[in-house]
Every structure is written in structure tokens, then in C-alpha cells.
Structure 1
Amino acid sequence: MTPPDATSPRRRKIPTAAVNRLPVYLQILSDLQLTETTQVSSDQLAALANVNAAKVRKDLSYLGTYGTRGVGYEVAFLIYQIKRELGLLTEWKTIVVGAGNLGSAITVNGGFASRGFPVVAIFDVDPRKIGSKVGDLVVRHLDEMKEFVRTNAVHIGVLAVPSTAAQAVADELIAAGIGSLLNFAPVVLTTPSSVSVRNVDLGVELQILGYHEQSRGQSATPRPARV
């Protein structure tokens, strides 16, 4: 099957919930491809993604693809379609602000580059960190960020900074021309509607897991009372 032009415009807007599931499908399909699986049914994909088959079929229909009854979907082509929809057929240069443990770990994670999100620079304001190396990158001062973004066509900024600094850093990234932010600080950012923000609050995720543990009747060590 000949793929359509990767730059062809999307025919209709995909609901956010469906977009959020596409990376899950992509990972599953990529794993299946490694096992030389060439076809997958909506029922199989649904079971692996822990959603119902009707939802899978609806999500994939937004891509303009429909499975063949009794055969299912072609794994390789479905991978291509999802990558095209998620913009993964191109590279999205990414920078990290915050050269602490979290920012450094994100910077040296080779998995981002392999998925089309190469980290091309890391910034900080701590004089003790400026000039040091994180992986193959030298930590730059945040004052250099605006010019770097402009000359290197950077699209995504990762905030790995304390919550007290997150809004100011976000403002600087947006002013520099960054259109998408991945925020690890436990704070809600105020941004223009044209800027896309994804928040990753590890504390919130742990609290949700705590709820599920409690709902299963699990017991935990009581927290000491605060004085």
C-alpha cells in the first residue's frame, strides 16, 4: 500500500481523548512489529490497550483507516498513519530548562530522540552548573535561551524547575517562540490559548495510585501526625 503524502492536511480534528490514546496504540503496534506480526484486529488491539474494541475502531477511523473484516489492520501501515497524525515523521527539537537530577535525566534519555524529540540544549541559572556537561550537552545560561530557540528552530520546552520558578520560565519560553511546554513542576501555568501545555505531576500520580490501593482494601503505614 502506498502511503499518502506525509504533509497532507488533516481532514478533520481528532478529539483530545482519542489523541491521548494514539501513543498507546503506537507503542503496542511497534511491539507487535518486533514480533513480526503483520495484522492486528481491533479486538486484539483493544485488549492490549485496555479499552473496548468499538473505541479502538472509532479512534482509528479518525485517521481515515478502516480495518478489513476478518483480517483487521495492517500493522506497518497503521504505525505509519499514527506517526503521521502525531507529527512523528519529522523532528521536533526540544530544550530542557533545569539541570538538576530530573532535567539531567530527561536530557540523557535517548528514547526521546528515537521518537523524534531530540533534546538539543539544556539551560539553568545556577552558576555552579553553567558550563558543566549533561550527556553530550553543555549547560547554558537561561539568558542564552531566546537566541538559541530562534536560531535552532526549537518547538518544545521542558520545565524541570521548582514550582516557584515555573511560571517565569514558561513566560520566557513562550516569549522566545516556544509553542509547546512539558511541565514537571507541581503548579498550574498561565499561558496563552495558542500554547499547548502538558503537565506531569508525579505527586498527583502517586496520590491517584494511593486511592486505588486503598479502594482495594490495602493497608498502609499510618502517617505520623504533624506537630
Structure 2
Amino acid sequence: MVAQRDARPPRRNGAQPAQRRRGRAHRDPNTPDADNAPTAEMPAVEDAAAGVGEVAKAKSIPEAAVARLAVYLRVLSGMADQGATTVSSEELSTAAGVNSAKLRKDLSYLGSYGTRGVGYDVAVLVNHIERTLGLTRQHKVAVVGIGNLGHALANYGGFPGRGFPVEALFDVDPDLIGVPVGGLPVSHLDDIPKVCAERQISIGVIATPPTAAQSVCDRLVAGGVQCILNFAPVVLQVPEHVEVRKVDLAVELQILSFHVARRADIAAAAGAANGESPNGARPAGGSDSRLDRVADGMVVRSER
């Protein structure tokens, strides 16, 4: 048994965490560059991707790059909905909140290099990223703990459209057992192994109190669940083959608190160096000195 590793995805410009396990990009050496091929040809590329030759050529993708790929996919999907057919690396990097050099490096793991003067084909790039992230097939989800958070997750309509249909709900409250939530009846915790195995659940979401989280985790693993998203503020013990992502909202708020406090300290130090009082008032006759402008620049840069 091994303890879960804390997820530390990039948090620039609100990027959300992505899967923690490193994925692999596959590319058949005999397949033409898909970025320059029309979208209609993608099924042939997908068939080639399943070949043994491409598996042999597989390239590991860094974990941080996997997190950014999920952000690129969200941005590209929005662009596609608005009718965009091509996008430059500069446009995509700005929308995703990363520098263009890093973006091009990330996309190179997919074998996607774009076309000079044209950029990337949006539909093809979406297809590449979805295939790499394993989104070309559905991943059935079970939610355990139907409190406020569990209710919200069970009723969220955005999961099925992204390939994550919620197929099972569990709780111990006798008043909830058998009651439909989001169209699904709630089952008892004791039924987790059986139901998860029967419905081929691959992702379990733990939204229980911390005291119940490990027991729930053990039941999910017994039911064949391979990935767990844990909202309980505890470290779960799982077998080596099980992936765990931990979402601790209190920790995220504390990190944001650190950044707020740091900016306030920088502003206070800059004000003191310029002769301002602690409340930020400028002495009579004070001017907008070069020091003020430098301090203002420090604060702005710290936000990026």
C-alpha cells in the first residue's frame, strides 16, 4: 500500500487540476503529420494509433504538461463552439495563460507542430488532446457521500458531455437510500464493491466526512475502481495501481491567502520607503516618485 501523492497542478490564471498520472502520446512513424491533414482523415490516424509500432514509439508526457493539455482542450473547445477553425500558438497561449514556447513544447509531445503562417487546426488539435487524455471513451463515475457537495456533483450536467457520466451514488443515510438524486437512486455504502463491478465504474469521487474516507476508498478499490478523486481532507492509502487526486479547498484558500498577504506586504514596504504612513496616506507635498512607479510594477508582476 502506498499513500497518495498530493497534486500540485499549475495554477496560473485559474487553470484547473488535470490527471496526475503521466500519459503517453502515440504517433505512427508512417503516418503523415495529422496537423496538415483534413479532419475527415482522423479515423485512419486513430486506427494507426492503436498499432504496435506506435506504442513502441510512445513518448512520456510530463505531468505538468498533462495538466496544461486539459486547459488547452477547454480553451479549444470554446473556440470551436464559436466557429474557429485555426488558432495560432500565440492566441492559444494567451487564452490558456501560458507562454507560447511552453505551449508549443507541450503540443510537440502529441506530434502536433502546426503549420507556419497558419497555426493549428482546431478540430484536429482537439482530437489529438482528447485521444491523449483518454477522452475518446467514457469513464463511468460513482459519487460517494450525497451531502451538499455530493448532490451538486450528482446533478451537474456537464460531466456526461465530457465523457464522465455519473452512474452510481452511495451514502449511509437511511433517508437517502433508494431516493433518486440527479435521476439515479442512492445505494448503500455496503453495495459499493458489487455495484461498481457490475456497472464498470472506473472513477470514484469521495465526498464523505474524513473519518469515512478510507473505508469508502477500500470499497471502491474492491469494486475495481482505478482512479479516485478525494474531497475529504485525509491522505488515503491505496494500492500502487490506483491513482488518487486530492482536492482540499481549505488548502487552496490558504495558498491564495499567502499571495494576498505577500502583495500587501510588498505594497506596505514600498509605501514605507516612500514616506507613506501605515494607512497609505502620502505626506503633504508628496510626489509620484520613480520609487512609487517601481513598487507599483512589483505588485503588478507578482499577480502574474
How far does residue 204 in structure 1 lie from its aligned partner after superposition?
0.8
Could you tell me which residue of structure 2 aligns to residue 62 of structure 1? 109
1:142 aligns with 2:183: no
Could you tell me which residue of structure 2 aligns to residue 206 of structure 1? 253
Higher RCO structure (Cα 8 Å, ≥6 apart): 2
Could you tell me which residue of structure 1 aligns to residue 133 of structure 2? 86
Q: Given residue 176 of structure 2, which amino acid in structure 1 is its aligned partner? A: K
**Any idea what SS the aligned residue of 2:251 has?**
helix
**Any idea what SS the aligned residue of 2:135 has?**
coil
How far does residue 178 in structure 1 lie from its aligned partner after superposition?
0.5
Instruction: Among all aligned residue pairs of Structure 1 and Structure 2, give the percentage whose two residues are the same amino acid.
Output: 53
Equivalent residues, number: 219
**What does 1:94-113 align with in structure 2 at a 5 Å threshold?**
94-113=141-160
Could you tell me which residue of structure 2 aligns to residue 190 of structure 1? 237
Could you tell me which residue of structure 2 aligns to residue 222 of structure 1? none
Could you tell me which residue of structure 1 aligns to residue 66 of structure 2? 19
Could you tell me which residue of structure 1 aligns to residue 289 of structure 2? none
Tell me how large the CA RMSD over aligned residues is.
Answer: 1.6
Distance 1:93 1:77 in 2: 26
How far does residue 211 in structure 1 lie from its aligned partner after superposition?
1.3
Q: 1:151 aligns with which of 174, 198, 203?
A: 198
Instruction: Note if contact 2:168-2:196 (Cα within 8 Å) is conserved in structure 1.
Output: no
Q: Which runs of 5+ in 2 are unaligned?
A: 1-37, 268-304
**Any idea what SS the aligned residue of 2:46 has?**
coil
Q: Which runs of 5+ in 1 are unaligned?
A: 220-227
How far does residue 153 in structure 1 lie from its aligned partner after superposition?
1.2
Instruction: Note if contact 2:228-2:244 (Cα within 8 Å) is conserved in structure 1.
Output: yes
Q: 1:169 aligns with which of 191, 194, 216?
A: 216
Give the TM-score, by structure 2 length: 0.69
How far does residue 101 in structure 1 lie from its aligned partner after superposition?
0.8
Distance 2:94 2:239 in 1: 38
Could you tell me which residue of structure 2 aligns to residue 223 of structure 1? none
Distance 2:262 2:169 in 1: 41
Structure (1 or 2) with the larger CA radius of gyration: 2
